[in-house]
């Protein structure tokens, strides 16, 4: 028996070694620019690489703890920040594929990996010996001659441990572990349910009369979607926004508008296996429990302590300042839309599924502007070229398309990003169109963040993921202006990651407070609508003629149109987020009752539905925006004020662009964000430009 056991053990060891040799995460990638070797990565590689990455980081942590030398910045703080490279590389690929190209197998692996990863994070954050060394360095911070970035890293590392329970004792540590594991699993389930609900709805139209009012682009897209789904000769509409929004804007069939709108707003609220109501309520309750365990009144107090806002009271005051005038505008908009319904002899009261349709009609009436008139001028490749030109004019950047490089999906395109002198900056992936394996919305992420180690700059690998209108058989991808601004928005995030010039991984790129991270993205949106820029990229996809000045003038004239609706819809979601996360006890709420009370308290009018209802509010229940959804509006103050700096000089003023790059884009989280903004702007941000832009002043 003993001999057989030895033989079996030897065979197993050789088998594991063979498997390890084949696992692409265990060797140098050997790919252009060291991007992940997507073609070689199989789902079976992830869990072994995650486990090995954890093992390696545990050994690195033990080496820090066992170091006989006195704890100092280099052997403790710096060593910790650079630890866990294999784990970081593996989970970056895994998590990004889970969002952008998922499968049943990946989702199951995520559930298997979640408790393992949660335990590992807690093993680090709750490690008394490691925290003791960190605290030793922190207590001497005033005696150390540290650079600004080093001082920031020390401060953030200490606070990260303190805020994650390093100071807890006894049973409280075990309780923290249980909460963190449950939170990670619930967040995964929330996201998985939402994807299933989104993919699960199909509105198949058989009667051509039901397409009345729809632009040809929407009809063609629906016909192709139907054919792909096996509904030949019919038209398919889904709750993916490129399909749903045109339907709500243009479809004359009110009953079908109601159907698709309710399908969208009831995702996760259908009392089926994908229902998210209890999951959301449980997540909120667990977050309260964790916050209380750490000595905070609420989860929002815990989160906001390290954001620019600092506390919930500041956020609520800010939201109140905007909501008042926004609601006033929205009520006026209701009157105007109802008058149009009555003038047509509609005989009904305005409902949420009517808003988009009649707002589009009213815009046409007031400004002679139909959004569909713009679409032929926003061919995707032309918009990309214009966007790249903006980055070139501002920062001298060049974008070189690369075809022979590994990509995670056939839809993804890849660019090398270079400085004006041709030196390499990083790699940019872009993935444009919806598919069943991709989450909804748009986001920027990284496969590798920029950092520096041993005198070498580690170049970033950045990705932008969108869900835009797809090409059809006879037309290229033609974007709405909303999709154009989304593209510029995510590109701003990408520049934040690409132009990072930091030393430490945990501070680089977009590793900044949640209410600061949207500044680089939102400021880029401003260039998308500038006439000078629009003329450079808005060219008719057939004739190549630039967009007529008349259309640009109409677009500018309509900028403040419907802003009451847009702002109320968004700000109501900010309140909902804050209300969920200012709960003081861990008592589990009835999600819909709680949401209704929240919306009643702020006076949300019945004609508008909160942008994200609780069961599909992925930003806060499956993403990183809990107590932080207000950040987009907060950043609007920053971006409007920052863009004014360019308008006060010129659109592509080199000095202003240099100041923005050096003080915002390159700095990551190495300094206090308000200090960085003041260095760029010469003063604190002011609300005036934002309120003026929205017509709320």
Which residues form the catalytic set? 490
CA distances for 692 relative to 647, 686, 689, angstroms = 14, 11, 5
Query: Encoding tokens for residue 646?
Result: 């360019």
In this structure, are residues 407 and 414 in contact, taking their beta carbons and an 8 Å threshold?
Answer: yes
**Are the CB atoms for 280 and 591 separated by under 8 Å?**
yes
Q: Rounded CA gap, 460 and 499, in Å?
A: 9
CA separation for the pair 504, 78 (Å, rounded): 8
DSSP3 helix / strand / coil % (the chain, rounded to 5): 60, 5, 35
- Please, which residues bridge with residue 179 across strands? none
DSSP 539: B
Residue with tokens 């057939």: 542
58/61 Cα distance (integer angstroms): 5
- Which residue has 């309260």 as its token pair? 288
Q: Specify the DSSP class assigned to residue 76.
A: I
Taking alpha carbons only, the member of 683, 675, 596 closest to residue 645 is: 683
CB atoms within 10 A of CB 175: 15
Query: Rounded to an integer, what distance in angstroms lies between the CA atom of residue 30 and that of residue 27?
Result: 8
What secondary structure letter does DSSP report for 478?
B
Does residue 159 contact residue 131 with C-beta atoms inside 8 Å?
A: no
Residue 17 burial (C-beta neighbours within 10 Å; 0-12, 13-18, 19+): exposed
- What are the residues facing 464 on neighbouring strands? 430, 444
Burial class (CB within 10 angstroms; exposed 0-12, middle 13-18, buried 19+) of 392: middle
Name beta bridge partners: 444.
464
3-class secondary structure per residue, 521-543: HHHHHHHHCCHHHHHHHCECCCC
Using DSSP's 3-state secondary structure scheme, residue 400 falls into: strand
Q: What's the CA gap between 194 and 618, in Å, rounded?
A: 8
What is the DSSP track for 663-690? IIITTTTSS-HHHHHHHHHSS---SHHH
Q: Nearest Cα to 519, choosing from 400, 346, 664, 369? A: 664
**Strand, helix or coil for residue 546:** strand
Q: How far apart are CA 251 and CA 476, in angstroms?
A: 23
Q: How far is CA 43 from CA 39, 50, 106, 443, in A?
A: 11, 12, 7, 23
In angstroms, rounded to a whole number, what is the distance separating the alpha carbons of residues 67 and 45? Answer: 33
Q: Which of 596, 634, 600 is nearest to 614 (CA)?
A: 596
Specify the pairing of strand 456-458 against strand 451-453: antiparallel
Angle between helices 631-648 and 673-681 (to 10 degrees): 20
Cβ-based neighbour number of residue 348 at 10 Å: 10
216 burial via Cβ count (<10 Å: 0-12, 13-18, 19+): exposed
């Amino acid at each position: 028996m003993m001999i057989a056991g030895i033989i079996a053990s030897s065979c197993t060891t050789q088998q594991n070694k063979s498997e390890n040799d084949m696992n692409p995460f265990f060797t140098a990638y050997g790919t252009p620019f060291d991007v992940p070797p997507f073609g070689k990565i199989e789902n079976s590689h992830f869990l072994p690489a995650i486990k090995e990455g954890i093992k390696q980081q545990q050994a690195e942590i033990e080496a820090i703890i066992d170091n006989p030398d006195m704890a100092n910045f280099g052997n403790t703080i710096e060593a910790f920040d650079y630890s866990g490279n294999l784990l970081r590389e593996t989970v970056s690929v895994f998590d990004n594929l889970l969002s952008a190209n998922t499968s049943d197998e990946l989702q199951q692996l995520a559930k298997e990996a979640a408790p393992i990863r949660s335990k590992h994070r807690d093993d680090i954050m709750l490690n008394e010996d490691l925290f003791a060394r960190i605290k030793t360095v922190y207590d001497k911070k005033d005696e150390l001659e540290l650079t600004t970035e080093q001082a920031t890293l020390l401060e953030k590392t200490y606070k990260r441990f303190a805020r994650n329970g390093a100071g807890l004792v006894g049973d409280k540590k075990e309780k923290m572990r249980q909460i963190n594991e449950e939170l990670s699993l619930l967040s995964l389930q929330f996201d998985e349910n939402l994807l299933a609900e989104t993919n699960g709805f199909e509105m198949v139209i058989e009667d051509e009369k039901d397409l009345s009012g729809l632009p040809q682009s929407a009809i063609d897209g629906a016909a192709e979607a139907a054919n792909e789904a096996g509904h030949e000769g019919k038209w398919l509409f889904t709750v993916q926004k490129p399909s749903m929004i045109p339907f709500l804007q243009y479809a004359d069939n009110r009953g079908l508008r109601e159907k698709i709108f309710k399908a969208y707003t009831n995702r996760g609220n259908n009392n089926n296996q994908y229902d998210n109501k209890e999951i959301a309520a449980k997540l909120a309750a667990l977050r309260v429990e964790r916050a209380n365990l750490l000595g905070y009144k609420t989860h929002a107090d815990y989160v906001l302590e390290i954001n620019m806002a600092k506390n919930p009271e500041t956020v609520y005051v800010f939201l109140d300042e905007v909501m008042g005038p926004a609601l006033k505008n929205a009520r006026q908009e209701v009157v105007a839309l109802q008058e149009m319904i009555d003038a047509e002899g509609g005989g009904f009261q305005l409902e949420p599924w009517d808003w988009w349709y009649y707002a589009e009609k009213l815009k046409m009436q007031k400004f002679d502007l139909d959004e569909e008139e713009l679409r032929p001028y926003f061919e995707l490749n032309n918009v990309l070229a214009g966007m790249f030109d903006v980055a070139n004019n501002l920062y001298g950047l060049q974008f070189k398309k690369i075809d022979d490089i590994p990509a995670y999906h056939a839809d993804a395109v890849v660019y090398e990003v270079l400085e004006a002198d041709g030196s390499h900056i990083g790699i940019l992936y872009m993935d444009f169109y919806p598919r069943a394996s991709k989450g909804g919305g748009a986001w920027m992420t990284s496969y590798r963040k920029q950092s520096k180690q041993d005198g070498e700059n580690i170049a970033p690998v950045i990705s932008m993921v969108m869900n835009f209108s797809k090409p059809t058989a006879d037309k290229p991808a033609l974007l709405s202006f909303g999709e154009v601004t989304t593209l510029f928005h995510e590109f701003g995030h990408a520049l934040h990651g690409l132009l990072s010039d930091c030393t430490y991984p945990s501070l680089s790129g977009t590793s900044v407070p949640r209410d600061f991270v949207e500044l680089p993205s939102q400021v880029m949106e401003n260039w998308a609508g500038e006439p000078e820029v629009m003329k450079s990229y808005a060219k008719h996809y057939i004739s190549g003629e630039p967009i007529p000045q008349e259309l640009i003038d109409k677009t500018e004239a309509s900028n403040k149109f419907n802003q009451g609706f847009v702002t109320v819809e968004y700000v109501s979601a900010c309140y909902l987020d804050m209300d969920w996360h200012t709960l003081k006890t861990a008592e589990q709420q009835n999600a819909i009752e709680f949401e209704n009370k929240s919306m009643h308290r702020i006076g949300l009018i019945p004609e508008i539905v909160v942008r994200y209802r609780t069961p599909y509010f992925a930003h806060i229940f499956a993403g990183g925006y809990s107590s932080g959804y207000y950040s987009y509006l907060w950043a609007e103050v920053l971006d409007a004020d920052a863009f004014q700096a360019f308008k006060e000089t010129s659109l592509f003023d080199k000095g202003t662009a240099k100041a923005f790059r050096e003080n915002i884009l390159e700095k990551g989280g190495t300094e206090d964000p308000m200090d960085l903004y003041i260095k760029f702007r010469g003063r604190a941000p002011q609300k005036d430009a934002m309120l003026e832009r929205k017509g709320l002043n």
